[in-house]
Structure 1
Amino acid sequence: MTKPVKNLGLLGIEYRDQQRPAVIDLWDPDNPRIIDYPVFHAACDAVAKGAIEAGLRPGDRIGILCSNRVEFLEIFFGCMRAGVVPVSIGILQPKEIVEWIIRDAGVKLVFCESSLREKLPDIAVVDIDSTAKDGLAAFKREGEFTPFVPVGDAIAFQPYTSGSTGRPKGVLLSHRAHTWVAETISRDRDFSPTDTMIVAAPLYHKHAMNSIKCVLVGGSTVVLMRKFEPRAYIEAVTRYHTTVVSGVPTIFAMMLQQRDMLTGRDYSFVRLATMGGAPATDALIDAVADLFHQAEIVQIFGITEASAALFGRHPKGEARPRHSIGWPIAGNEFRLEGGEDENFGTLHVRSPGLMNGYHNNPAEMEKRVKDGWFDTGDILRRDPAGWFYFVGRGDDMFVSSGNNIYPSEVELMLERHPDIDQALVVPAPDEIKYRVPYAFIVKRAGAELTEQDVKDYSLRNAPPYQHPRKVIFLPAMPMNGVGKIDRKLLTARAAAPAEATEREAN
């Protein structure tokens, strides 16, 4: 008989009577809202009860089209308490993709901010900002609520991948798997009621939502920003004494550029700084460690389909090597395939946190999952001691005259140059070599750096085939909707005919 499992919407329920902040909502930074655990859990129950009274049933899909604010969390966790499956939709997605996700998922109702309603098709809507009968306040129903009890691999929520290689894919994630994921990550990173974590990444993305789950499991507090803005981020860290800071490397790089705000301030209260989404350079790690001088600096690795509960601390407390994404967390199984040996290649994983599958996409499921092993598409290596390192996305790797080029390796090399703040390497078409590397560079403030300087540095510090044949200087890297550098945009720019014909000799 299939056993009941814990409802993911009930994370942190053991703290519901404790008069401590669960969320400090900075959606309107001039008017912060502090929501304690009793109020937060009551609001989640009110959403759950409202969902049932609105005719929604376990397994039904609802959409969330909303920026970072406490209402997003109330809807997300409240609907799961009712067995209703949240589908979070990126607010920067074009109307066409928003409508496609709603159709693909079979969404019956969308919770939406007023400013985003124009992106929706003709569908039932709960307006988060409205005070009328179509608003969230009117949707809620106060009072005790008996939560849905999931069994087996019942679906908890359904995020969609970014769609960088085609249409977004709906990922089916269960209550069982992601309760394990949340509890595992929170334990690995020692979350407790004494912690306050700042979250500025979008909640519709896995990175931010994993952080929220860690906070709830630990009985901690989250400082929730509407979006990342470096000076506001620094001010929030300073004001609320956040003990945990997290983000992609670009967020930390932009924060460190605000030297006038950082100089003379003591951030010894920060105990943990996590970086994920892309490799970080030695210079960036050193700068973060210098600023947060009491913090453990951790590079994290996660995949929507297989969670972030893959790598963590060493079970015997051994120090993590620089740039390592960690030691295998117990319960996971790993294989590296397609490389020169078993210690390098594409990561395949079997994990308790693995997805149930792709929604309405059996072809992709057959392609990516075989005998319970999921092909992540990420290239990793393992050192002789057993630590793992991220090399790059298999999709990003390109071949130049027979040589495999992993952009992240070239970027890390370039960013060791004292006058380079950020680097991004992409392939450009070439008549002879098929593809050659182009580099987009953000200089350090005040640096006098030429294209030839960059090429010469590359030739001294890397194999000749890796050196960028063209260098384009930018004032800042373009960002996508989840706070990462928009590699797709810059790849398109490198492939533009005007630049593609400017092939340079070795």
Structure 2
Amino acid sequence: MIGPGIGSWPARRARMNPATVALCTDDEELTYAELAVRVEHTAARLRELGVSAGTRVAYLGPNSIDTWVCFFATARAGGIFVSLNIRLAAPEIGYMLADSGSHVLVHGPECAELATASDPAEHGVAHVLPAADLRPSSRPEAAVGSPMPAPIAEEDPVELDDPVLILYTSGTTGRPKGAVLTHGNLTWNTVNQLAHVDVLSTDVALCVAPLFHVTGLGQVSMPTLLKGGAVVVVPKFEAGGFLALIVRRRATCFSAVPTMLQMMCEHPDWESADLSSLRYVIYGGSPIAEEVAQAWLDRGVVVQQGYGMTEASPGVFMALPDGASSRPVSAGVPHFFTDVRLDAEGEPVAGPGRGELLVRGPHVFAGYWNRPEETAQVLDKGWYRSGDVLRIEDDGWAYVVDRVKDMIISGGENIYPAEVEAAIAELADVSAAAVVGVPDQTWGEVGCAYVVLRSGADLDEIALRAHLEQRLARYKIPRYVEMCDELPRNATGKVLRSVLREQARQDHPSAH
């Protein structure tokens, strides 16, 4: 049941206070003192399972208090938290368990079947356990104003350069790769957020962005926790329910992808929902329609677009509260402790202009897990090559123009065509395949697959989709499948994706 602390949030005491609520759901709440005890208990339990400096602990489950506790406890024990996307298929989860060398797999009750189907033992995982097994036998009680508890067990000390988190990003070569973020990366991203946004100890933040994405951790929730605010953990997004939650909790902030914002402003409850408690909303992950941003601005909500990537923990640019309303689709200006530059065909762009974005700063990642060659391809003397083309205007505000990479962003999820194409190519009837993005009014982009069959093959779309459903997350499966005689190629045989993108627009005009 919900305790008295939540009902009194509008009058919460400012500043860090061990007795104030840190994390809560509709069924549970933890004060900061209770959270500290719970983390110490879980860290000690992980140590019993063999977790020490550098040990990987994988977690598979929707947003929950258990997710946060396991994350903090893994870090407390010196380990590395591997946050797994619950929307992936079992073979994808198995690959990540093996690639990361995870020693422990913790799962939420909703993902028990998926955890088993991923064959963790086959992939080297020594311990698989429900998140509930890491909880204390009884709820920890802490006296109001009591000091932080002493550690239950000796823990390995960590430095800012030590890795703490592995998040998998879809790979351009068909295999996801683990981006390694350090304690320092997450710390500096949080500092950047605090410098850019007026986070308060009285804030009530809704944590709805998934914690297996860096945005869920870094853009609102961790800065709020650092300031001593309250974070309401939301396991699943549903537009009407989320609008009601804003009202019920008197929420002050949250982060989301544009698709979520669009779904809410198109919901029947949009006009009647009381949004007056919201001080700011951060969104990013894909371009936003100007009318969606304007709909929120018209309701008096400060919406700030952010731009970043997993490899930057993630923040690089963010709109300022003053100026966002007149530039509703701008990604804003660089964070305080972030260096950026634009390159055009290998030459730096002097002043305003457009080019590939390079990023440098203490929040830029350490590299890809066990991928030195791929790390070297994107890190040049500390500068991370984003693969995105940005335009920076005379006033310093940035706009995302295009992608050097072929990545598709659908509802805030990154989809790399090479990964989908590799899965399609497993079918013996397939001669060649190419996947491109086509604009979509709801999801921003969706995939369109052009497939060439071998002579005499009788593969149909239903069989192709059934094959992909066994290998890929549903959001990666192309919305459209077109069987064709050949793919457009240049003189060297490279697929002309620009031609296919235009063809996809013509084939599916209703999508945009």
| Class of the TM-score when normalised by the shorter of the 2 chains | 0.7 to 0.9
When residues 437 and 69 of structure 1 are mapped into structure 2, their CA distance, relative to the original with a 3 A threshold, is closer
Counterpart amino acid of 1:383? E
Identity of aligned residues (%): 27
**Match of 1:265, SS?**
coil
Name the structure 2 match of 1:172.
Answer: 180
Name the structure 2 match of 1:228.
Answer: 237
1:209-260 deviation digits (Å, cap 9, x = unpaired) = 113212211211112111111111111111001011321110011111212x
Structure 1 position 44 matched with structure 2 position 43: no
Structure 1 position 266 matched with structure 2 position 261: no
Structure 1 position 70 matched with structure 2 position 65: yes
Q: How far off its partner does 1:439 sit?
A: 4.8
When residues 439 and 276 of structure 1 are mapped into structure 2, their CA distance, relative to the original with a 3 A threshold, is closer
Counterpart amino acid of 2:484? P
When residues 231 and 221 of structure 1 are mapped into structure 2, their CA distance, relative to the original with a 3 A threshold, is same
Q: How far off its partner does 1:35 sit?
A: 1.9
Name the structure 2 match of 1:358.
Answer: 368
2:381 to 371, 396, 406: 371
Counterpart amino acid of 2:323? A
Distance (Å, rounded) in 2 between the aligned partners of 1:139 and 1:111: 17
Counterpart amino acid of 1:137? R
Name the structure 1 match of 2:18.
Answer: 18
**Match of 1:74, SS?**
helix
2:287 to 275, 279, 293: 279
Distance (Å, rounded) in 1 between the aligned partners of 2:78 and 2:385: 29
Counterpart amino acid of 1:18? P
Where in structure 2 are there 5+ consecutive unaligned residues? Answer: 1-13, 141-148, 411-416, 418-433, 444-468, 487-499, 508-512
Query: How does the TM-score come out when normalised to structure 2?
Result: 0.71
Q: Is the 8 A contact 1:250 1:485 kept in 2?
A: no
When residues 273 and 16 of structure 1 are mapped into structure 2, their CA distance, relative to the original with a 3 A threshold, is closer
Counterpart amino acid of 1:170? G
Q: How far off its partner does 1:165 sit?
A: 5.6
Distance (Å, rounded) in 1 between the aligned partners of 2:366 and 2:85: 22
1:16-70 deviation digits (Å, cap 9, x = unpaired) = 75221111224xxxxx222221111211111112222333211111111111110
Name the structure 1 match of 2:484.
Answer: 497
Distance (Å, rounded) in 1 between the aligned partners of 2:160 and 2:237: 38
Q: How far off its partner does 1:503 sit?
A: 9.8
When residues 70 and 125 of structure 1 are mapped into structure 2, their CA distance, relative to the original with a 3 A threshold, is same
Q: Is the 8 A contact 1:185 1:308 kept in 2?
A: no
Distance (Å, rounded) in 2 between the aligned partners of 1:120 and 1:438: 35
Counterpart amino acid of 1:273? V
Structure 1 position 185 matched with structure 2 position 193: yes
1:107 to 102, 110, 117: 102
Distance (Å, rounded) in 2 between the aligned partners of 1:141 and 1:240: 24
Q: Is the 8 A contact 2:38 2:135 kept in 1?
A: no
When residues 165 and 227 of structure 1 are mapped into structure 2, their CA distance, relative to the original with a 3 A threshold, is farther
**Match of 1:160, SS?**
strand
Q: Is the 8 A contact 1:47 1:141 kept in 2?
A: no
Distance (Å, rounded) in 1 between the aligned partners of 2:90 and 2:474: 22
Between the two proteins, the alignment pairs up a number of residues equal to 406
Distance (Å, rounded) in 1 between the aligned partners of 2:70 and 2:504: 52
Q: Is the 8 A contact 2:66 2:131 kept in 1?
A: no
**Larger relative contact order (CA 8 Å, sep ≥ 6):** 2
Which moves more between the two structures, 66-75 or 338-347?
Answer: 338-347
**Match of 2:333, SS?**
strand
**Match of 1:300, SS?**
strand
When residues 69 and 385 of structure 1 are mapped into structure 2, their CA distance, relative to the original with a 3 A threshold, is same
Structure 1 position 84 matched with structure 2 position 90: no
**Match of 1:107, SS?**
coil
Q: Is the 8 A contact 2:306 2:319 kept in 1?
A: no
When residues 140 and 497 of structure 1 are mapped into structure 2, their CA distance, relative to the original with a 3 A threshold, is farther
Q: Is the 8 A contact 1:195 1:220 kept in 2?
A: yes
1:241 to 250, 254, 265: 250
1:467-491 deviation digits (Å, cap 9, x = unpaired) = xxxxxxxxxxxxx9xxx9957624x
When residues 155 and 326 of structure 1 are mapped into structure 2, their CA distance, relative to the original with a 3 A threshold, is same
When residues 273 and 498 of structure 1 are mapped into structure 2, their CA distance, relative to the original with a 3 A threshold, is farther
Q: How far off its partner does 1:331 sit?
A: 3.0
Residues 470-485 of structure 1 aligned to structure 2 (within 5 Å): none
Name the structure 1 match of 2:355.
Answer: 345
Residues 207-226 of structure 1 aligned to structure 2 (within 5 Å): 207-210=215-218, 211-226=220-235
Residues 188-199 of structure 1 aligned to structure 2 (within 5 Å): 188-199=196-207
Which moves more between the two structures, 361-370 or 181-190?
Answer: 181-190
Distance (Å, rounded) in 2 between the aligned partners of 1:53 and 1:158: 22
When residues 503 and 373 of structure 1 are mapped into structure 2, their CA distance, relative to the original with a 3 A threshold, is closer
Distance (Å, rounded) in 1 between the aligned partners of 2:505 and 2:330: 36
**Match of 2:211, SS?**
coil
1:137 to 135, 138, 142: 135
Q: How far off its partner does 1:186 sit?
A: 2.9
**Match of 2:94, SS?**
helix
1:336-382 deviation digits (Å, cap 9, x = unpaired) = 11269552111111111111111111111121111211111111110
**Match of 2:34, SS?**
helix
**Match of 2:190, SS?**
helix
Distance (Å, rounded) in 2 between the aligned partners of 1:70 and 1:90: 17
Q: Is the 8 A contact 2:61 2:108 kept in 1?
A: yes
Distance (Å, rounded) in 1 between the aligned partners of 2:232 and 2:474: 24
Residues 278-297 of structure 1 aligned to structure 2 (within 5 Å): 278-291=286-299, 293=300, 295-297=301-303
Counterpart amino acid of 2:388? D
Q: Is the 8 A contact 1:50 1:139 kept in 2?
A: no
1:143-202 deviation digits (Å, cap 9, x = unpaired) = 621654323511121111144762111111111222111122133211112111112221
Name the structure 2 match of 1:121.
Answer: 120
Q: Is the 8 A contact 1:47 1:140 kept in 2?
A: no
Distance (Å, rounded) in 2 between the aligned partners of 1:337 and 1:241: 44
Q: Is the 8 A contact 1:164 1:488 kept in 2?
A: no
Distance (Å, rounded) in 2 between the aligned partners of 1:51 and 1:436: 43
Q: How far off its partner does 1:494 sit?
A: 5.5
When residues 297 and 437 of structure 1 are mapped into structure 2, their CA distance, relative to the original with a 3 A threshold, is closer
Q: Is the 8 A contact 2:15 2:227 kept in 1?
A: no
Distance (Å, rounded) in 2 between the aligned partners of 1:436 and 1:104: 27
1:205 to 213, 219, 223: 213
Where in structure 1 are there 5+ consecutive unaligned residues? Answer: 1-13, 27-31, 398-406, 412-425, 427-433, 444-479
Counterpart amino acid of 2:249? Y
